[in-house]
Amino acid sequence: MNRSPKRNENDLLGLMQPQMQETVQKVLGDIPAYRSKQIYHWLYAKRAQHFSEMTQLPAALRSQLERHFTIGKIKLVTKSVSADGTIKFLFELSDGFQIESVLIPSEMRDAKGEARRKTLCLSTQVGCPLDCKFCATASMKLKRNLTAAEIILQYFEVERLTGERITNIVYMGMGEPMLNYDNVIRSLRILTDPELEIIGAKRITVSTSGLPDEIRKFAHEKLGVKLALSLHATTDELRSKLMPINRAHPIKELLSAMDEYYKETGIPVTYEYILFEGLNDSDTDARRLAKIARRLPSKVNVIPFHRIDFTNPQGFGAELHPASDENFNRFNTVLKSEGVQVMVRSSSGEDIEAACGQLALSQIPHPVAIEI
- The model's pLDDT over 50-86, given as tens digits with 9 standing for 90+, comes to 999 999 999 999 999 999 999 999 999 999 888 888 8
Segment 112-123 mean pLDDT:
80
List CB contacts of 160: < 8 A, sequence separation 6 or more: 47
Catalytic residue among 22, 159, 356, 371: 356
| This prediction's pTM | 0.90
Which 8-state DSSP code applies to residue 102? E
pLDDT score recorded for residue 315: 79
Work out the mean pLDDT of the chain and round it to a whole number.
89
Contact 125, 174 (CB under 8 A): yes
Active site residue 338: no
Q: How much of the chain, in percent, has pLDDT values that exceed 90?
A: 76
- Comparing 161-175, 221-235, 349-363, the range with the smallest average pLDDT is 349-363
Q: What is the pLDDT of residues 43-54, one digit of tens each?
A: 999 999 999 999
Residue 13 has pLDDT above 80, yes or no: yes
**Is a pLDDT exceeding 50 seen at residue 191?**
yes
- pLDDT at site 363: 44
85 closest CA partner among 303, 346, 309: 346
Average pLDDT in the 318-340 region?
95
Percentage with pLDDT > 70 across the chain: 87
7-27 mean pLDDT: 91
Cβ atoms 368, 102 nearer than 8 A: no
Q: Write the pLDDT tens digit of every residue in 193-205.
A: 999 999 999 999 9
Task: Enumerate residues 6+ apart whose C-beta is below 8 A from 18.
Answer: none
Distances (CA, A) of 209 to 85, 147, 172, 254, 354: 28, 20, 10, 10, 19
User: Nearest Cα to 233, choosing from 295, 304, 308, 289?
Assistant: 289
The CA distance from 129 to 176, in Å, is 8
pLDDT of residue 113: 52
For residue 326, pLDDT beyond 50:
yes
Of 100, 157, 350, 353, catalytic: 100
pLDDT at 359: 47
Q: Return the pLDDT at 116.
A: 78
Check residue 361 and give its pLDDT: 54
Q: Is 356 a catalytic residue?
A: yes
3-state secondary structure of 255: helix
Task: Give mean pLDDT, residues 240-267.
Answer: 97
Please say whether the dihedral angle defined by the alpha carbons of residues 259, 208, 134 and 274, taken in this order, is positive or negative: positive
Give pLDDT, residue 42.
Answer: 98
pLDDT for 125 beyond 50: yes
Note the pLDDT of residue 355.
Answer: 46
| Main-chain phi, psi angles of 12, to 5 degrees | -85, -20
Over 90: is that where the pLDDT of 371 sits?
A: no
pLDDT for 307 equals: 77
Give the CA distances from residue 345 to residues 106, 332, 338, in Å, rounded to whole numbers and listed in that order: 11, 12, 19
pLDDT at 350 over 70: no
Give the least confident one: 70-84, 104-118, 281-295. Answer: 104-118
